[in-house]
Amino acid sequence: MSADLIELMQNLGQPRVLVVGDLMLDRYVWGDAERISQEAPVILLRADRREERLGGASSVATMLRALGAKPAIAGVVGADADGTRIRQMLLDHNVCDEAVLAVSDRPSTVKERYIGRAQHRHPQQMIRVDYEDRKPLSAAAERELIQVIGRRMRDTDVVLISDYDKGVCSPSLLAAVIAAARACGVKTLADPLRGGDYRKYHGCSAITPNRLEAGLATGRVLNDSVVALAGAAELRERLDLEAAIVTLDKEGMALAHADGRREVFPTRPRQVYDITGAGDMVLAVLGMALAAGADYDAAIRLANIAGGLEVEKVGVAVVTRDEIVRDLLRGGEGGQGLEKVRVRESLVREVTTRQALGHRVAFTNGCFDVLHAGHVQYLQEARSQADFLVVGLNSDASVRALKGPTRPINSVESRALVLAALEVVNYLTVFDESTPLELVRELRPDVLVKGADYRREDVVGADFVESYGGRVYLAGLREGHSTTRLLQRLGAA
């Protein structure tokens, strides 16, 4: 888990995001793929559920809303029942639709997917049916859309262009959008269409093509990170971008920045159920992070997490801030070695975040100089009192002050590494003070754990923890286990 990404998530605020692009309605028909039809050699789907979701640029808007942004959307729908449904769903999701035009010369875009379950197990998409008209908007409709976008720009922190090649994102409209955004000092990010001519994105702050799209636009086969970075750099220079970001599915994202940075940001492996919507999620999170003042590096790392969560879901689905934070925290729990050791400031942020998500945090402290079975059993009991265990580890100087000049036997680095290898220990931090009182005050644990050889009134920090509703727990002692006795036995040997 990266503490800086947790902090970024906590400071995203509610940026005002204008999404420009192709609005769509996604319909899903779910059922069991039971057998082959007797009429033709095709799978027979026994449907049991229908579902409607917003797709295309409208899915970007709903993703933004689920992440806590204040999105508005600009585009067109048909003057039909599906267009009415799209607008109502936007309002239901608290997405401003003032810049959505209803036109009579084209239908609303609808994608209908049939999702089958084999023997009632994981669902898979079987076929998709599209209802659409991809011709460009009429000149009158485009002029009206440009005017309404211009009025919205004054109340916008970032502009996201979601181009699905359904006729809205023409070169003339995008030129007007990019110019208006630049005049207002607003960044513009575009998720481009598949094809070789990207001139209409010239002047954007950044674009986010996937591997195939960037390859078609540059005439390259982006089969490794070196070529991907070269392709990103070519697009950045050719289109006068601040950054070009090429998404590389399971390999992460490649960034080429105007300041000379070229870097591939890897992502961790995921169980991929459906890649639908992953590009939209990446665009949404990048836009929010940049609007919050993040650098491209942090924005890309955060978008990697969100895109990974999206592919673990079926269809175009939203991801919330809590889901991203929980995923970051889960990533940290599996850390090995000194990755679990945190500086105090980082640890305080993590504990605060976990408590906000309803997790109970236990804290204990000690020297843990020569780790033995009694220590392990003690830590297991401490961990059983909460969802998460933090250990405060006395520094070498602190141990000497408590135990004398011959201690510790093992350095703080060695002691931390051994503790971090225990599954029951989630995180630990080193403190120099003679007591952990200041650390307890900063962490505010839900449970303060010490050994049963202490009386409650002798536990440092007990009064403070109980003052805000926490509790003190005295863990049982295991006879025959102590560091002093172990050292005496080793000396005798």
Q: pLDDT tens-digit profile of 364-378?
A: 999 998 888 889 999
**Average pLDDT score over residue span 194-219:** 93
Q: What confidence score (pLDDT) does residue 360 get? A: 94
DSSP 192: P
DSSP 122: S
The amino acid at 69: A
pTM higher than 0.95, yes or no? Answer: no
Q: Which residue has the higher pLDDT, 414 or 261?
A: 261
Q: How far apart are CA 393 and CA 430, in angstroms?
A: 5
CB 289 within 8 A of CB 303: yes
Q: Which residue has the higher pLDDT, 493 or 393?
A: 393
Q: pLDDT class for 355, splitting at 50, 70, 90?
A: confident
pLDDT tens figures, 240-289? 999 999 999 888 899 999 999 999 998 876 555 445 668 898 999 999 99
Q: Which residue has the higher pLDDT, 197 or 205?
A: 205
Q: What confidence score (pLDDT) does residue 80 get? A: 96
Q: pLDDT class for 316, splitting at 50, 70, 90?
A: low
Q: pLDDT class for 158, splitting at 50, 70, 90?
A: very high
Q: What confidence score (pLDDT) does residue 467 get? A: 96
Which residues neighbour 236 within 8 Å (Cβ) at sequence distance 6 or greater? 242, 243, 244, 256, 257, 258
Q: What confidence score (pLDDT) does residue 253 get? A: 92
Going by C-alpha positions, the residue among 227, 160, 240 that lies closest to residue 199 is: 240
- Residue 171's H or E segment, with its range, is helix 171-183
Q: Which residue has the higher pLDDT, 338 or 380?
A: 380
Using CA atoms, how far residue 223 sits from 4, 190, 195, 256, in Å, is 31, 23, 18, 17
Q: What confidence score (pLDDT) does residue 336 get? A: 47
Q: Going by DSSP bridges, is the β-strand pair 187-191/206-207 parallel, antiparallel, or unpaired?
A: parallel
- Residue 76's H or E segment, with its range, is strand 70-78
Average pLDDT, the chain: 88
pLDDT score of 487 more than 80: no
In the chain the domains, ranked by start, together with CATH numbers, are 3-24+54-104+139-333 (3.40.1190.20), 337-492 (3.40.50.620)
Q: pLDDT class for 339, splitting at 50, 70, 90?
A: low
Active site residues: 280
Q: What confidence score (pLDDT) does residue 159 get? A: 98
pLDDT score of 15 more than 50: yes
Q: How far apart are CA 187 and CA 243, in angstroms?
A: 11
Strands, DSSP E only, in 123-227? 123-131, 158-162, 187-191, 206-207
Q: How far apart are CA 182 and CA 203, in angstroms?
A: 9
Q: Which residue has the higher pLDDT, 329 or 315?
A: 329
- Residue 216's H or E segment, with its range, is helix 211-218
Q: pLDDT class for 479, splitting at 50, 70, 90?
A: low
Q: What confidence score (pLDDT) does residue 331 get? A: 61
pLDDT tens figures, 212-247? 999 999 999 999 889 999 999 999 999 999 999 999
Q: What confidence score (pLDDT) does residue 2 get? A: 58
Q: How far apart are CA 122 and CA 298, in angstroms?
A: 33
pLDDT score of 294 more than 80: yes
Q: pLDDT class for 321, splitting at 50, 70, 90?
A: confident
Q: How far apart are CA 366 and CA 373, in angstroms?
A: 15
Q: What confidence score (pLDDT) does residue 334 get? A: 39
Question: Look-up: residue for tokens 């003057």?
Answer: 79
Burial 456-465 (b: 16+ CB within 10 A, else e): eeebbbbeeb
